[in-house]
């Protein structure tokens, strides 16, 4: 069964410092990975995705993520954190619809990022 | 404005009283999905639809029904709600285009079943 793990419930970082939010996955076949962000009282918003190609993926709001196949990880990063980055972040994997014909998604449990001024 | 609209945003009701949460998208998306969000559990997929009249179970379908009679609408039905269905629910949609298009989420519906 496919799974996604976000090992940290909360990450605290000082404004201006680099941030990393961790995600590891377990899938059969090629992984299709996503990061979403959730602000209070709102739905999730897409940040970036890895389907194939370069291991470093750039996304919205200055975020990027590094795909590491050997470590089965897809960590979210940003070189310089802003207070406005404080939110709940979710990693997700989509089942390969070409092989299984599904639209199934597995989400991690979320990591709350707190950027301190 | 491209959006996914859920109604109601908040609902408090009692055990056993049938309810429907509506979801509508104006982006002509083929795929739609329902999730529930619970503390410590993240988002779990309830049902999804890949086309009109095509629906399938996600990871936690028990106690829920869905229908997809029109492309834009994907209502979630709780025939006999129970307290363990108290949760925050999200509807999402995405295009079937190449490259695994990202999901667009509604702003959520907070259900409390007493």
Collect all residues with Cβ–Cβ distance below 8 Å to A101 and sequence separation of at least 6.
none
Tokens found for residue B79: 């025939």
CB B48 within 8 A of CB B32: yes
pLDDT at A99: 57
Whole-angstrom Cα distance, residue B21 to residue A90? 24
Residue B93: its chain A contacts at CB < 8 A?
none
How much of chain B is helix, strand and coil, in % rounded to 5? 5, 50, 45
Residue A43: its chain B contacts at CB < 8 A?
4, 90, 92, 105-108
Q: Do A103 and B50 touch (CB under 8 A)?
A: yes
pLDDT at B53: 94
CA B14 to chain centre: 20
Whether the predicted pLDDT of A97 surpasses 70: no
Sign of the Cα pseudo-torsion (A8, B43, A57, A104, in order): positive
Tell me the average pLDDT of chain B. Answer: 95
Strand partners, A57: A65
User: Residue B85 has what DSSP assignment?
Assistant: G
H/E segment holding residue A15:
none
Half-sphere exposure of A97 (CA within 13 A, CB side): 16
Taking only the tens place, the pLDDT of each residue in B36-66 is 999 999 999 999 999 999 999 999 999 999 9
Q: Give first-to-last CA distance, chain A, whole Å.
A: 41
Of A94, A104, A110, the CB nearest to B42: A110
User: Residue A87 has what DSSP assignment?
Assistant: E
Taking only the tens place, the pLDDT of each residue in A32-89 is 999 999 998 889 999 999 988 889 999 999 999 999 999 999 999 999 999 999 999 9
Hey, how many other C-beta atoms are within 10 angstroms of the C-beta on B36? 23
Whole-angstrom Cα distance, residue A102 to residue A83? 38
Residues of chain B above pLDDT 90, percent: 93
Residue whose C-alpha is closest to residue A107's, from A46, A41, A17, A39: A46
pLDDT at B33: 97
Residue B90: its chain A contacts at CB < 8 A?
43-44
């Amino acid at each position: 069964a496919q799974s996604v793990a976000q090992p940290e419930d909360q990450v605290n970082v000082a404004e201006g410092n680099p941030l990393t939010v961790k995600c590891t996955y377990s899938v059969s076949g090629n992984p299709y990975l996503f990061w979403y962000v959730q602000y209070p009282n709102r739905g999730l918003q897409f940040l970036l995705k890895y389907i194939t190609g370069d291991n470093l993926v750039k996304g919205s709001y200055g975020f990027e993520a590094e795909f590491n196949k050997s470590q089965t990880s897809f960590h979210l990063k940003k070189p310089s954190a802003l207070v406005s980055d404080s939110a709940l972040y979710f990693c997700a994997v989509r089942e390969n619809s070409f092989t299984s014909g599904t639209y199934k998604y597995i989400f991690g449990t979320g990591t709350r990022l707190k950027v301190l001024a | 404005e491209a959006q996914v609209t859920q109604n109601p945003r908040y609902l408090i009701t009692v055990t056993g009283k049938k309810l429907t949460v509506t979801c509508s998208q104006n982006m002509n998306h083929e795929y739609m999905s329902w999730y529930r969000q619970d503390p410590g559990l993240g988002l779990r997929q309830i049902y999804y639809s890949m086309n009109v009249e095509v629906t399938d179970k996600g990871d936690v379908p028990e106690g829920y029904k869905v229908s997809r009679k029109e492309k834009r609408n994907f209502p979630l039905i709780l025939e006999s709600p129970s307290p363990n269905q108290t949760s925050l629910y999200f509807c999402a949609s995405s295009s079937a285009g190449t490259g695994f298009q990202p999901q667009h989420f509604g702003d959520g519906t907070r259900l409390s079943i007493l």
